[in-house]
Chains A and B, each alone.
Chain A
Amino acid sequence: MAHGPAKGIGRWLFTTNHKDIGTLYLWFSFAMFLLGGTFAMVIRAELFQPGMQLIKPEFFNQMTTMHGLVMVFGAIMPAFVGLANWLIPMMIGAPDMALPRMNNLSFWILPFGFSLLASTLFMEGGGPNFGWTFYAPLSTTYAPSTVNYFIFGMHIIGASSIMGSINIIATVLNMRAPGMTLMKMPMFVWTWLITAFLLIAVMPVLAGAVTMMLMDINFGTSFFDAAGGGDPVLFQHVFWFFGHPEVYIIVLPAFGVISHIIPTFSRKPLFGYSSMVYATASIAFLSFIVWAHHMFLVGMPIGGELYFMYATMLIAVPTAAKVFNWISTMFRGSISYETPMLFAIAFVVLFTIGGFTGLMLAIAAADVQYHDSYFVVAHFHYVMVAGAVFSGTAAVYYWLPKWCGRMYNETMGKVQFWISFIGFNITFFPQHFLGLAGMPRRYADYALQFSDWNMISSIGAFIYGASQLLFIFNVIRTIRSGTPVSEPKTWEGAEGLEWTVATPAPYHTFATPPEVK
């Protein structure tokens, strides 16, 4: 056991070490984040002014599609799998993940999946242009000729997620240190355990959806083709049966991260731990029975609309329980505002705004106006960016000193926080107004009355994009030349097993399990 990492590139190709694989996941997801961010910059540059300036509408459609796919499947999900790899074994006192070789496989197929997906941009016919939700028949009958690359790319990405989830479940259920009962597990571990079950339940459904597309396109079946007895609306049901749990897959681990950072910098234990666990489980359960609220306009009967409306609103209850618990944790705490805490507080505020707009969208009657407008775009960027990306950034700042034994530059971190917070809000808050005024999403051009807010939104997007360069600069600078730190607890208020090992975390931790009281 007592040996260090192998030398050279082989260390990374053949590694079965959870810390190495976590690092690989995190770097990969950051690369994808920059790629998806570049697509977003192209989109916002084109929308800076009405009319077509920089790119063709066909390419604009490829940009919106690829932005969504790369951000959801390439940036956010692998980022949290990376955090899970790094942290879960350290948090539960395990020496490594339960299935280390599968862990290696689940990471290393990911670059191939995204190469397949991204290579379509350089092919004749262009990349996928049917939106990240790839509704049939846009993605079947009218799909570009490269759609098979997209389908196989999604298969690979899905297989990677499923393997990652199996690994996390096996680790959490079988590898906990003696004395660590389920209800003593840290919140991040809990949220990931539940997320992993969600992934195993719905990633195969996504694989099924793209497989049906594959057969419709290549083998003459008619799952989604009305001419052969199929139904395009079936696609939307199958997709959102995957798609709605997917948004909780993205945000639940973020909840877990926030539930670590807020207690640390409030110097108080998390308020209402067990209610947090039950709230997470209820959100996961409810996510399976609300999918058709994405489809209020397909012509559902009134009974269906009402059911999906009320069931969706019900999700606000456990989510609000979480928000109140975070606020109660901060209440009368001895709060200090280091960079991770700033991102965590911004998360709570902005995620709540996104939650409220989600409630507005859940009202079936009002959704007739909001549907497929920029209001929806604003809503899901408030929950995805301010939810997942802010908490991912917070997590990197929070655990980076533990990972590499060096402290990031606090001033630069705070500057990055304020630039991204302001940039983010300048980008996405005006999109609420645009949507309410009737600007539809996914178009390369817009009517003149939308010009001003679009220009402001684009300026905000460039600011937000630039702040990410400061982030990566700060991270690389920390790894190369940050101030060394050596005490196990980087943050005085931090609790948990990961803060009991040496800093920087040695290559192998908990070769003998710790005793949990």
Chain B
Amino acid sequence: MSAAPNNRKLLVKLLSGAVFMFIFALFVMPPLYNVFCEITGIGGKTGGPYVASEAGVDTSRQVKVQFVATNNGAMPWQFGPKVFEVSVHPGEPTEVAFYAKNSTHRNMVAQAVPNVTPFNAAEYFHKTECFCFNQQPLKAGEDAELPLVFIVDRDLPTAITTITLSYTLFDITNQSDDSLAQVN
């Protein structure tokens, strides 16, 4: 039949279309989603380590920064901020600390994941140093002070007067190895 070669050509085209969509879903959509969220701050995702610039401090206004700590699922650690709220000037590096204690009888590894509310503040909230950049191992019964240095960008919209930074602590003891994706 004369249609047969055409059918084969079409089959190859459509099949490659399907394979393309599979690869798109698997390898393009997740990175695209992350980049999109990071650029726009949608979802409260914050960026990676930030290098402070010499822009100076904007002393004309103050922004309230609140800290929230949550344990994910059955994570048994004690985890919380040492101070719950600070007032900062935009552009001013501020150091605060969180406290974590592994009160169990086994060695564990944790990972903190940050989130900023309101979402449109996320891109103006920079962390120069954060315990969330690394995995946090603690031996049984051990405790630690977890440092965080942040700068609120001078370009923060003036409508935003309060920023809430939330950390969720995950138990990653079983999955902690080098292949684990680095969390920003």
| Interface residues of A, Cβ cutoff 8 Å to B | 98-99, 102, 162, 165-166, 169-170, 173-175, 200-205, 207-209, 211-212, 220-223, 226-231, 233-234, 237-238, 241, 299-301, 304
B78 within 8 A of A: no
B172 within 8 A of A: yes
Which residues in chain B, 15-70, are within 8 Å of chain A measured between CB atoms? 15, 17-26, 29-30, 33-34, 37, 40, 42-44
Which A residues are CB-close (under 8 A) to B22?
204-205, 207-208, 211
B160 within 8 A of A: no
B14 within 8 A of A: yes
Which B residues are CB-close (under 8 A) to A165?
14
Residue of A nearest to B180 (CB): A228
Which B residues are CB-close (under 8 A) to A304?
42
**CB atoms of A173 and B10 under 8 A apart:** yes
Q: How far is the CA of A202 from the CA of B24 in the complex (A)?
A: 11
Known contacts: A207-B22, A234-B33. The answer to whether A222 contacts B181 by CB under 8 A is: yes
**CB atoms of B181 and A208 under 8 A apart:** no
Residue of A nearest to B184 (CB): A229
- Closest 10 CB pairs between A and B? A208-B25, A227-B170, A204-B22, A204-B21, A205-B25, A229-B181, A229-B183, A208-B26, A166-B14, A98-B7
Which A residues are CB-close (under 8 A) to B19?
204
Q: How far is the CA of A205 from the CA of B171 in the complex (A)?
A: 30
Inter-chain CB contacts under 8 Å: number: 122
Partner of B29, one of A98, A208, A221, A228: A208
Known contacts: A174-B10, A202-B21, A208-B29. The answer to whether A226 contacts B113 by CB under 8 A is: yes
**CB atoms of B3 and A98 under 8 A apart:** yes
Q: Chain B contact residues: over half helix, strand or loop, or mixed?
A: helix
Which A residues are CB-close (under 8 A) to B162?
none
Q: How many residues of B contact A (CB 8 A)?
A: 43
Q: How far is the CA of A212 from the CA of B27 in the complex (A)?
A: 10
**CB atoms of A169 and B181 under 8 A apart:** no
Residue of A nearest to B29 (CB): A238
Partner of B18, one of A170, A203, A237: A203
Which A residues are CB-close (under 8 A) to B86?
none
Q: How far is the CA of A26 from the CA of B15 in the complex (A)?
A: 25
Partner of B183, one of A99, A228, A238: A228
Q: How far is the CB of A107 from chain B (nearest CB, A)?
A: 17
Which A residues are CB-close (under 8 A) to B183?
227-229
Partner of B172, one of A207, A211, A228: A228
Q: How far is the CA of A226 from the CA of B113 in the complex (A)?
A: 7
Known contacts: A204-B25, A229-B184, A237-B33. The answer to whether A220 contacts B3 by CB under 8 A is: no
B119 within 8 A of A: yes
Residue of A nearest to B5 (CB): A174
Q: How far is the CB of B170 from chain A (nearest CB, A)?
A: 3
Which B residues are CB-close (under 8 A) to A230?
30, 181
Q: How far is the CB of B127 from chain A (nearest CB, A)?
A: 15
Q: How far is the CA of A99 from the CA of B12 in the complex (A)?
A: 12
Residue of A nearest to B1 (CB): A95
B140 within 8 A of A: no
